[in-house]
Amino acid sequence: MKYKRMSRIIIPSNIILVVLLFSCSVAKKNTGPLSLKEAYKNSFMIGTAVNAVQIEEKEPNAAKIIPQEFNALTPENSMKCEIIHPYWDTYHFELADKLIAYGNKNNIPIMGHTLIWHSQLSQFVKNIKNADSLKLFFENHISTIAARYDGKIYSWDVVNEALNEDGSMRNSTFLEKLGPDYVIEAFKIAQKAAPKTELYYNDYNIEQPKKRAGAIALIKKIQAAGVRIDGVGIQGHWKVNNVPFKEIEESIIAFSKLGIKVMFTELDLTVLPNPWEVNTADVNMKAENNAYFNPYPKELPDSVQQMFSKDYTELFKLFQKHHKEVFRVTLWGLNDQQSWLNNWPIYGRTNYPLLFDRDFKPKNAYFKVIDIATQKK
Ligand code: G3I
């Protein structure tokens, strides 16, 4: 009887469709992680660097993808001296404030970048001739900016790129006029102005043995002075087919022994030829463009795409292996169009260093990176 009645029920086809779609979406949710940040939520934070267009949500694709994929944001340029502090008595906080608001709205912590860097200094700082004036700038700059954002951002790269490749201190206006202890002094001022903010040292190539030894000595010096340092950022500007995996692993182990957080703060993989033998991220080094140095103006050949995916896969395998020591991995930009590597060290090239392509489509490497997260640690 019951069976008979049931057989007479007519279910409209649009209801069947809704039920089908619903069960598909439930099934999708249960079959695996949907984004980078979800995939790695039990391992480390996963971040991106954001530019002004993205902070102001002027690009709809970026506005959708950033909060969906990432749980840490670094301003690519908007907190650098030449933008935030253009004249002695003038600060331009507008864009940095917008970034804080953007982070609050999307519930994503901000990683401040950077208080003291020899590069991208405002003209007035470059013009300072005497030590007393530079010291005054140094104190005002760090304490004003660090205090303003204390409790509003998660961390600061207090000092960026203070070392040479051999591990010695890089020559800069700070080293020249304030002496080698300027790094300790910067952390001391930041600690006072921003007690609620984590304080990091950030540099490129510090996975390499000599530079790494210099960074370790510098961090130990800060610690020995009784000054707080919470972490170290290995930038991670590497080249496809030449990623220094062994040195990266050694560095994770060596830096974590200092009792601080280890982060990869500016990850990208160039696929283009390097005009020099050394691997560098020194923004002051430039070379001329020509066809040899810009071999893929239209698209990336499959063979290179495969090497690219393989290197990203191996890198994230390594990060995942050391998920207890690695606190954050930040990509230096969202998609290939945005990357600084299109214009450095040669202006106007077409590079492909990130996980999203020029149309904001996730690449094969993106899916491989997600797969790594689901494999057993
Ligand atoms: O803001 C001006 C704009 O007004 C002007 O019209 C335009 C013309 O070129 O230049 C704009 O400034 C550029 C700025 O990026 C913003 O787009 C600078 O020329 C350009 O040099 C600057 O490049 C940045 C570079 O640091 C120097 O600050 C890159 O975007 C940024 O990705 C790069 O990031 C650095 C990290 O901070 C530290 N580690 C290395 C990393 C890569 O170089």
Say yes or no to pLDDT of 120 above 70: yes
Given the residues 161, 185, 207, 247, the one annotated as active site: 161
The per-residue pLDDT for 277 is 66
How sure is the predictor about 376, in pLDDT bands with cuts at 50, 70 and 90?
A: low
- In this predicted structure, the answer to whether residue 280 has a pLDDT above a threshold of 90 is no
Does the predicted TM-score (pTM) go above 0.75? yes
Tell me how far CA of residue 63 lies from CA of 15, 58, 362, in angstroms. 33, 8, 15
Atom of ligand 1 nearest to the CA of 235: 39
Mutation choice for ligand 1 from 74, 76, 263, CB with most ligand atoms inside 8 A: 76
Angle at 311 between CA 214 and CA 316, to 5 degrees: 75
Compute the average pLDDT of residues 331-357.
96
* CA–CA separation, 200 and 245 (whole Å): 23
What are phi and psi for residue 73, nearest 5 degrees? -130, 135
The rounded distance, in Å, linking the Cα atoms of 219 and 42 is: 28
pLDDT given for residue 14 in this prediction = 53
CA dihedral 85, 150, 251, 73 (to 10 degrees): -70
- Top pLDDT among 1 and 374 is at 374
Q: Which of 325, 320, 195, 199 is nearest to 258 (CA)?
A: 325
**pLDDT digits over 304-313, tens only?**
999 999 999 9
**Residues within 6 Å of ligand 1 by CB:** 76-77, 80, 120, 160, 235, 266, 281, 283, 340
Q: What is the pLDDT of residues 35-66, one digit of tens each?
A: 999 999 999 999 999 999 999 999 999 999 99
pLDDT at 21 over 50: no
Cα distance from N-terminal residue to C-terminal residue, the chain: 56
Integer Cα distance of 248 and 236 in angstroms? 9
For residues 107-126, average pLDDT: 98
Percent of the chain topping pLDDT 90: 84
Query: What 3-state class would DSSP assign to 278?
Result: coil
Q: Probe ligand 1: pick from 159, 283, 341, max atoms within 8 Å of CB?
A: 283
Nearest CA to ligand 1 atom 29: 340
Homologous superfamily (CATH) of 42-374 is: Glycosidases (3.20.20.80)
**Does 266 qualify as catalytic in the annotation?**
yes
* Residue 1: predicted pLDDT: 30
The residue ranking higher by pLDDT, 273 or 15, is: 273
